[in-house]
Amino acid sequence: MNVLKWYDQNQRTLPWRAKKGEAPNPYYVYLSEIMLQQTTVATVKDYFERFIKKWPTLKELAEANLDEILVEWQGLGYYSRARNLHKAVKVLAELSLFLSMPTDLKKLPGVGDYTAAAIASIAFDYPVVPIDGNIMRVFARLFAIPSPVPLLKQDVYKYTSRMGEGGRSGDFAQGLMDLGAMICRPLNPRCTECPLKTTCRAYNEGKTTEFPVSKIKPEKPKRYGVAYILLHKGKILLEKRPSKGLLGGMMGVPTTPWQDEVLNPEDLVMFEKSSEWHKVSKQVKHTFTHFHLYLTVKVGIRQEICDGCWVSLDNLQSVALPTVMKKVIKQIPHEILRNCSKIN
């Protein structure tokens, strides 16, 4: 088959991928697929290698606590994946054999149709084609499928439902993924190098740029809030966010609720009554999957320490801080940091 022949000669070298002649490591495949959910290969590589260095086996990762995992995960985003990973590896560590069937894998927290199919196919040669964005793009162009992206997956499934049965299912799936990433790219596809160019309808009809058919994305809503940085003797007050919801279980500075409108000054009285606050001129903007967040940052210095989780500013790397909180903390003015350090 053209895809397998092309893959044998052009496959990407990835830290979780088995070398030629070696059997895939199911733990590596599982961990990488969880990390790759809504995240690029380039971003995941370093995180994967750090995880494997710290926890070389699934059993060792299963013995880690959630805070340890969140610290290593910080910056990767979509933190529910880390919480689900923590739950799932404990289940897997109790089994005598790694789950190999998509139906069984889907019972694990955080594993849906695609992830289950990818693990089963790549790790165990299960005859299924996992349909990710790269594979959808390849087939949308190959057969000039007119369905827009939200409906495209079910149409691609009709073409791929029996394709994984020809042997080397895992290599075939990874070959399609690599083909989409390296050749059938979203922009400037390298069609003349594609092993499928003779049968690709979009290429032969000169319509490559028209597929996949895009759906116009609605503008993301905006949310607003105030973040409070409270300092004392070179330390910062942090709190753990609720385990459920956005950034669940992560650490951060206290904030007001995030809402659709800017808070009025009178609404902030309950948050600001205990300290005098310096408003930072630059607003922090952070984009989540479904909305843009705008945070006004206020900084206060305590003469006397109050109850809470106080962490040295020099030791923040040991705390599971999401990217938005790192952005907030970077806004502390230098003169305030100097004054904070002078308080004995």
**Interior/surface letters 134-147, b for 16+ CB within 10 angstroms, e for the rest:** bbbbbbbbbbbbeb
Q: Which residues are catalytic?
A: 33
Is residue 98 within 8 Å of residue 26, measured between CB atoms? yes
Return the SS3 of 164: helix
Is residue 245 within 8 Å of residue 258, measured between CB atoms? no
Is residue 284 within 8 Å of residue 327, measured between CB atoms? yes
Pick the closest to residue 224 from 255, 248, 253 (CA basis): 255
Residue 188 φ/ψ, nearest 5 degrees = 50, 55
Is residue 283 within 8 Å of residue 33, measured between CB atoms? no
Is residue 76 within 8 Å of residue 65, measured between CB atoms? no
3-state helix, strand, coil in the chain (%, to 5): 45, 10, 40
- In whole angstroms, give the CA distance from residue 93 to residue 106: 16
Pick the closest to residue 25 from 52, 62, 60, 64 (CA basis): 52
CA 323 to chain centre: 12
